Amino acid sequence: MQRAIHLSGIVLLVSFVTILMDDFNQEWKQIQTRFAHIEENRYHSTSESDISFNSGIAQIVVEGLGKIDRCPTCHLGVDDIKYRNAEPPFQTHPGQLLETHKSKDFGCSACHLGQGYAVSYDKAAHRKLEFWNETMWPRPLMQASCGTCHRSREVSEAPLLTGGRLLISEKGCTGCHDIDEFFEEGNRGPNLDGIGNKVSEGWLYAWLKNPRDYLKASRMPSYRLTDPEILDIVSFLLSLDGKSDPPHAVTAQSSNPGRPDSGAVLVSESRCISCHTIHGRGGRLAPELDRIGDKVRREWLPNFLRNVHYYQPEKRMLEYNFTDRNALDIAAYLMDEFSEGAYVLPDEGDVALAPKSLSRKEEQLKRGLKLFVKHGCGGCHSVGTQIKPPKVGPKLSNIGNRLESVLDFGSRRDIRPTLYNWLFMKLKQADVFDSSAAMPNYYLTDEEAFEITVALLGNKENQYATEYLVSEAQNSVYKKPSGEFGELFERYSCISCHSIDRYGGTLSTVPLTMEGSKVKFEWLRHYLIKPFALRPVLTERMPRFRMTEREASLMADYIKRVYVSDEIPRFFELELKPEEVALGRQLFRSLECVNCHIADGAGGYVGPELDNTGNRLEAGWAFKWLLDPLKYKPETIHPDFGFTELEARQLTAYLMTKRRDHR
Amino acid sequence: MNGARLLIFVGALALGFTSCKRPEAPRRDVMMEAIESLAEVVDAPMAHAKQVYDRYCSVCHGLEGKGDGFNAYNLDPKPRNFTDSSFVARVDSGLIVETITKGGGAIGLSPVMPPWGRTLSESDIAAVALYVRRLAQSRAGLEHP
């Protein structure tokens, strides 16, 4: 009995000593001792007690984020620039991020993840541990965290996240998945009513089989459909009625079948290449035209060209002032030149599309409709006047919280089972884990799939208090213009390329917000009738609309009255003195403006040519622009030379003397 | 009888072997492997610096820093070739920052190089300076082994 008491006494003593030793040897205590002796502290302190940190456990409590972070217990130099070259874990936080996200306000684990409460390397989950969701991000994935609070499409300091979000929008992920309200927009694909009048069955079949056969950069993914399935869908699509009496019906007559040579001239003159790719060159705003002749029906094309907005009201394409003859010429040129041989249905395909009995046909249409619904085609394409169908894919607004232990990797045992691997691989090949997966294949590059993964990983609902969330800036006050100008503005689809108050297209380098304060009426009127390249190096040029004189006057007048800024002085030219011209010329020469601009017939092509500035620009605009280019166009690469008002006046006075007689 | 025992022994041995599984192959981190080659994309500060460089500088200095941007033909003196080994050896980051900020004219070089101090932020200029040095070192390293 006594023995037992002795023995238990010894055991108690040993365990007591062990506990004491353990506590004394704690990782963080050793690290703090090491910190006292690093170079940065040795020079600055004379004795150990002089070192300017409170030893012991340090913690940051951030209520709104639900975080208690003890990271500063070991990361002792994060906030102090003095430690920028110190050894880990003492070094200063890199970059400028902590200036806006102070560690006392945001803590550490809201961005880095991991177990902020722990005070040892392993327990804080510095490394990825299997099936443990809240381990720290590996460095490449850091920007996912930005996305949890920053609920806007673009986050300037996080290019990977922004890239991912732009891709989500561009690839049309929201057609099937609810992701975030800021992704919501109109249909990604065209309305399909009357599709049978537009394209051939052969093309439709080939397109559904693999869209990339026809269009390398196709936005439509590949659905891995079988031949009978495709034929059922084709049959259903061909049954959709469309509009059939356009306001300007064009029919080819034997006397006027269209002349390809004048069509070619029109295509080049209209600058179709600004938006469409032709033989590998041109814009990316609209589909490639290389095989348009194999896709659309010969009767449809001239009618479309004359009635663009009638057939497709959502279309961003502009409606040129073509005559019937013009439309027939262009159609003849495109149909003949842009063809590599017609698409055909597979063997017996035409028989399958025309079953002998009516009931068989009805069954086929039913099957086609069922497939159409099953694959969520309505997510991107509208049909009839139906309301938007429910989305067929799962919601992704909380995907970042998906537990790694429930992810289905199929039979792939060779993959590290993390959420990022799962998302990345599914994005690369939708059926990689499950051959019956509903999601189609998008053929993303590694870079694209990675960026989308980063954007999705940060999607976590109800994670943080609302005051931490940054929403999409309400920066657009754009209102559709009304009246006759509004109609013309719509017909020529100005907003597809130009922006107004940061709303609209980015193809043009010229926003219209203050265009009326910038250019002169006469110049603008001529430019609308016969546009030319101010910057010849750009592929994207203003198309020639074939606008009438009256239309051009009306548009120029409206722009001069409405799209103006109060900050631009209106009659500035009258205030300029003749003696300022010579001084301005001197300044123009000494700054070597011709390095980028053409003046007196020679110079660079970076900026617009300046030899007609006096006719083109309002003096008040030129003056204000020279003083602060970034204010009037944030994306400009024109350097701000820091001119004084006097210098800007002199330069303006000189530039206003540069006029060509015509125009 | 003996034969039967032998059979049982061999059977047991075979069973034993099958239960000795091979150690599992290390699991692949598929995404991390795939993005290894995308260092310039993943390294966020460098990617940002590249964006700024491509936008503002490459017009004259060229995308690879060889002084062969599309506007270079028009300039006299020609834009600096950053991959020139003498440039790499001679210039420090401080001078690059100063040149970008104040322009060539302010530091006794040609005014063809405009000042960017009022257009770009201090941190953007520091980032671009670092990018220019990296461009210089990597390209020069390739060309002058």
Q: Mean pLDDT check: name the lowest of A129-133, A335-339, A472-476, A579-583.
A: A472-476
Residues of B in contact with A630 (CB under 8 A): 119
Scan for tokens 């690369």, then name that residue: A428
Q: Mean pLDDT check: name the lowest of A77-91, A445-459, A645-659.
A: A77-91
**What local confidence, expressed as pLDDT, does residue A504 receive?**
84
Residues of B in contact with A139 (CB under 8 A): 42
List b or e across A48-58, with b for residues whose CB sees 16 or more CB atoms inside 10 angstroms.
eeebeeeeeeb
Token reading at B145:
């082994």
Provide mean pLDDT across the span A296-310.
92
Mind listing the pLDDT tens digit for each residue in B125-143? 988 998 898 888 765 444 3
Asked if A637 reaches chain B (Cβ–Cβ under 8 Å), the answer is yes
Q: Mean pLDDT check: name the lowest of A105-114, A145-154, A382-391, A626-635.
A: A382-391
Query: How many CB atoms are closer than 10 A to CB B84?
Result: 18
- Using alpha carbons, list the distances in angstroms from residue A47 to A44, A52, A87, A249: 9, 11, 21, 94
Provide mean pLDDT across the span A317-330.
92
**What local confidence, expressed as pLDDT, does residue B40 receive?**
67
Q: Name the residue facing A421 among B30, B56, B75 (closest C-beta).
A: B30
Asked if B114 reaches chain A (Cβ–Cβ under 8 Å), the answer is yes
Residues A292 and A305: beta-carbon distance below 8 Å = no
**What local confidence, expressed as pLDDT, does residue A332 receive?**
94
Res A645 pLDDT > 80: yes
Residues A381 and A233: beta-carbon distance below 8 Å = no
Residues B21 and A437: beta-carbon distance below 8 Å = no
**Total residues found in chain A within this entry:** 663
Mind listing the pLDDT tens digit for each residue in A53-79? 677 889 999 999 999 999 999 998 888
Q: Please indicate whether, in this complex, the C-beta atoms of A640 and B30 are within 8 angstroms of each other.
A: no
Select the highest-mean-pLDDT range: A13-22, A272-281, A511-520: A511-520
Q: Mean pLDDT check: name the lowest of A445-459, A554-568, B93-107.
A: B93-107
Mind listing the pLDDT tens digit for each residue in A259-302? 999 999 999 888 898 889 888 888 878 888 999 999 999 999 99
Residues of A in contact with B116 (CB under 8 A): 639
- CA–CA gap between residue B32 and residue A420 (Å, rounded): 9
**What local confidence, expressed as pLDDT, does residue A257 receive?**
84
**What local confidence, expressed as pLDDT, does residue B140 receive?**
47
The overall average pLDDT reported for chain A is 88
- What is the pTM for the complete model shown? 0.80
**What local confidence, expressed as pLDDT, does residue B144 receive?**
35
Residues of B in contact with A595 (CB under 8 A): 71, 74-75, 112
Report percent pLDDT > 70 for chain B: 79
Res A45 pLDDT > 80: no
Distance from CA of A619 to the nearest CA of B (A): 23
Distance from CA of B5 to the nearest CA of A (A): 39
Distance from CA of B9 to the nearest CA of A (A): 34
**What local confidence, expressed as pLDDT, does residue A127 receive?**
85
**What local confidence, expressed as pLDDT, does residue A129 receive?**
77
Query: Which residue did the predictor score with more confidence, B145 or A386?
Result: A386
**What local confidence, expressed as pLDDT, does residue A307 receive?**
92
Query: Which residue did the predictor score with more confidence, A523 or B7?
Result: A523
- Best residue in A419, A596, A600, A631 to probe B by mutation, most B CBs within 10 Å? A596
Asked if A607 reaches chain B (Cβ–Cβ under 8 Å), the answer is no
Residues of B in contact with A420 (CB under 8 A): 31
Res A549 pLDDT > 80: yes
N-term to C-term CA, chain B: 78
Mind listing the pLDDT tens digit for each residue in A218-258? 889 999 999 999 999 999 999 998 877 888 888 877 777 88
Mind listing the pLDDT tens digit for each residue in A476-494? 567 888 899 999 999 999 9
The distance between the two most distant Cα atoms of chain B, rounded to a whole number of Å, is 105
Q: Where are the alpha helices (DSSP H) in A492-628?
A: 494-497, 515-518, 521-529, 549-562, 572-575, 579-590, 613-616, 619-627
Residues of A in contact with B119 (CB under 8 A): 629-630, 637-640
**What local confidence, expressed as pLDDT, does residue A169 receive?**
87
Res A399 pLDDT > 70: yes
A425-464 residues touching B, CB cutoff 8 A? 425, 446-447, 449-451, 453
- CA–CA gap between residue A542 and residue A528 (Å, rounded): 9
Q: Please indicate whether, in this complex, the C-beta atoms of B111 and A591 are within 8 angstroms of each other.
A: yes
Provide mean pLDDT across the span B27-40.
84
Provide mean pLDDT across the span A494-507.
86
Asked if A145 reaches chain B (Cβ–Cβ under 8 Å), the answer is no
**What local confidence, expressed as pLDDT, does residue B145 receive?**
29
Provide mean pLDDT across the span A100-107.
92
Residues of A in contact with B41 (CB under 8 A): 160, 447, 450-451
Res A140 pLDDT > 70: yes
B28 three-class SS: strand
Provide mean pLDDT across the span A504-521.
91
| Angle between helix B122-143 and B93-102 (nearest 10) | 130
CB contacts < 8 A (A, B): 101
Backbone angles phi and psi of A238, in degrees to 5 = -65, -20
Report percent pLDDT > 70 for chain A: 96
**What local confidence, expressed as pLDDT, does residue A457 receive?**
94
> CA nearest A589: which of A577, A600, A578?
A600
Residues A141 and A420: beta-carbon distance below 8 Å = yes
Query: How many CB atoms are closer than 10 A to CB A244?
Result: 9
Res A311 pLDDT > 90: no
Backbone angles phi and psi of A638, in degrees to 5 = -70, 120
> CA nearest A98: which of B21, B104, B123?
B123
**What local confidence, expressed as pLDDT, does residue B16 receive?**
61
Q: Name the residue facing B116 among A591, A595, A639 (closest C-beta).
A: A639
Q: Please indicate whether, in this complex, the C-beta atoms of A446 and B35 are within 8 angstroms of each other.
A: yes
**What local confidence, expressed as pLDDT, does residue A157 receive?**
80
Strands A60-62 and A150-151: unpaired
Mind listing the pLDDT tens digit for each residue in B88-118? 777 787 889 999 999 998 888 888 999 999 9
Asked if B38 reaches chain A (Cβ–Cβ under 8 Å), the answer is yes
Kindly report whether the peptide bond that precedes residue A511 is cis, defined as omega within 30 degrees of 0.
no
**What local confidence, expressed as pLDDT, does residue A394 receive?**
92
Report percent pLDDT > 90 for chain A: 51
